[in-house]
């Protein structure tokens, strides 16, 4: 005990403060192992419900949930239960990217309820496999633009395009076309060889029933949620697992508000648009099943808004 170091250690170990610091450091180092042991015991298939019209706020909720199931190591596979007519174009694109990111890391299977149309199909398309039932409506790949009527606002503006909602009509059409190309391109690349119709046919925006969707390669098989869960678990190599259900977003009104839409009972919804202001008209791009009535609508599809 003549060694000065030994004597200093012995002295230090007499101190409760030193003991506490060392214990906290060791305890923190053990945290990952402790949680890992817990996670290994539980393996989940997460079902994420998407049954609302897709708006920026619902997409935000769903994307947050998708991030959680992606980062949760005990979730081994994900099933999207989709029954949505689509919604906002930008929100649908965000959903697509979130699902694509998730599918890069875990098996993602989709079970279609009533609809996986337009923006909702965009959401589903990165899935490893899409199940539909004969009564499902699948596809409708296209964009609808709604433009307020009338010309220049009497209000003062700071530039010519500020008086035209930021774009000329040609640019409006160009935006519509760009979004369509991105959408159709995503469908073609994600579905790959499985899709049996041409790019031009996809761009025609047909909405297929479940049987026809399987024929055309928009969907993979006829089946319900149980089949999707079973197959997702098999894909993840799970023999025993639990299913956890998430319903991240509640149905809300749609993103555009037009006076006429408020009196209709179609798919248009009736909630005031979040980014509009009284007296200020805006352009909206929608990826949604159907065509709002009495709207000034420009579509880049033949099935939506056509005669």
- The smaller minimum CB distance to other proteins, of residues 125 and 225, is found at 125
Binding site for other proteins (CB under 8 A): 13-14, 16, 19-20, 22-28, 30-31, 34-36, 38-39, 67-68, 70-74, 93, 96-97, 100-101, 104-105, 147, 149, 168-171, 173-178, 181-186, 188-189, 200-201, 203-204, 291, 294, 296-302, 304-307
CB of 25 to other proteins, least distance (A): 8
CB of 71 to other proteins, least distance (A): 4
- The smaller minimum CB distance to other proteins, of residues 210 and 305, is found at 305
CB of 28 to other proteins, least distance (A): 5
What is the phi-psi region of residue 298: left when phi exceeds 0, alpha when psi lies from -120 to 50, beta otherwise? beta
Across the beta sheet with 284-288, what order do the strands follow? 86-88, 284-288, 144-146, 297-299
- The smaller minimum CB distance to other proteins, of residues 148 and 224, is found at 148
- The smaller minimum CB distance to other proteins, of residues 161 and 221, is found at 161
CB of 307 to other proteins, least distance (A): 3
CB of 151 to other proteins, least distance (A): 9
Pairing of the two strands 144-146 and 86-88: unpaired
- The smaller minimum CB distance to other proteins, of residues 225 and 236, is found at 236
- The smaller minimum CB distance to other proteins, of residues 22 and 280, is found at 22
CB of 252 to other proteins, least distance (A): 26
């Amino acid at each position: 005990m003549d060694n000065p170091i030994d004597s200093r250690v012995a002295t230090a170990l007499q101190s409760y403060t030193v003991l506490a610091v060392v214990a906290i450091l060791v305890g923190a180092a053990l945290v990952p192992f402790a949680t890992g042991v817990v996670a290994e015991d539980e393996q989940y298939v997460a079902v994420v419900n998407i049954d609302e019209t897709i708006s920026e706020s619902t997409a935000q909720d769903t994307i947050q949930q998708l991030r959680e199931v992606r980062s949760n190591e005990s979730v081994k596979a994900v099933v999207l239960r989709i029954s949505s007519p689509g919604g906002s174009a930008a929100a649908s694109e965000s959903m697509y990217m979130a699902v694509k990111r998730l599918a890069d890391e875990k098996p993602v299977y989709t079970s279609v309820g009533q609809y996986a149309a337009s923006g909702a199909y965009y959401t589903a398309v990165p899935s490893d496999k899409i199940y539909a039932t004969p009564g499902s409506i699948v596809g409708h790949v296209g964009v609808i633009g709604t433009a307020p009527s009338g010309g220049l606002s009497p209000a003062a503006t700071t530039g010519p395009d500020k008086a035209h909602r930021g774009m000329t009509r040609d640019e409006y059409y160009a935006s519509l076309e760009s979004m369509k190309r991105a959408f159709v391109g995503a469908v073609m690349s994600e579905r790959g060889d499985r899709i049996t119709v041409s790019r031009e046919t996809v761009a025609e925006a047909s909405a297929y029933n479940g049987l026809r969707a399987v024929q055309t390669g928009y969907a993979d098989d006829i089946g319900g949620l149980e089949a999707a869960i079973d197959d997702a678990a098999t894909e993840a190599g799970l023999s025993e697992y639990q299913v956890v259900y998430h319903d991240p977003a509640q149905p809300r009104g749609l993103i555009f508000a037009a006076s006429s839409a408020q009196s209709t009972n179609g798919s248009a919804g009736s909630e005031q648009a979040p980014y509009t202001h009284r007296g200020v008209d805006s352009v909206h791009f929608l990826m949604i099943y159907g065509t709002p009535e009495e709207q000034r609508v420009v579509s880049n599809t033949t099935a939506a808004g056509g005669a």
